[in-house]
Structure 1
């Protein structure tokens, strides 16, 4: 899973890959076209035990959703070892969500690894996790240089 960045009102695309260790590096498993993951978020609040972190915390009228890209992957499964997760900041009030959301992806046991997220057990298998950053935008493709005046 790669971290993803974008404007708070955009759908953020997070590339996800099923990889294996070949003895010297991580390789995308192009034979994986059957693994199914659970993209929905299980929590909307900080939960260290589950691996969820919201910085800053969500307030009333804010919700973060994560789903699979059914247009690119209509079966909801990996295709050639790749998958895309779609993140949205759903706002029912007037406050856009600007911040970082870190969440695990619930995967089958064979896609877990010894990530040691909590620095307490290097022998425990964990689901992979990555962060989505809302409100961070890389700029406009047609602008080469932008100077701000004070």
Structure 2
């Protein structure tokens, strides 16, 4: 990043008009586009987590409505080898609450936790989307500045 283009905590110093085209393009590529990619990757990660909790909620609801007396299933034990398993009591499940820490919940508690977690992740994703929109706006502003400089140079000749 060129040292004379300031960029701190998401705020772009709007002194593009004194910078050369190459400096602005460099700033767009080296800072803004990388930041935008980081935001998009993080949003995709959050969306994946949201989908996992929605699936867990749906599974929990299905268990509470249809499988209250237990069920049979197959568990992948690694290398696509499956083992039959019987769950005699499906009133409680273990849920990964983060950092690979598991908590035993009743089905109703698990559903409430999933609702809370989905809402929390959606709020976090909304904040990141706003930052992404702001970064896109900065990119457009910089590109408009370049276009305006090009028009001014053509008008002078």
TM beyond 0.5: no
TM-score, normalised via structure 2 length:
0.22
Using the size of structure 1 for normalisation, the TM-score is 0.23
Looking at CA atoms only, which structure, 1 or 2, has the larger radius of gyration? 2
Report the structure, 1 or 2, having the larger strand content: 1
Identify the structure with the greater helix proportion.
Answer: 2
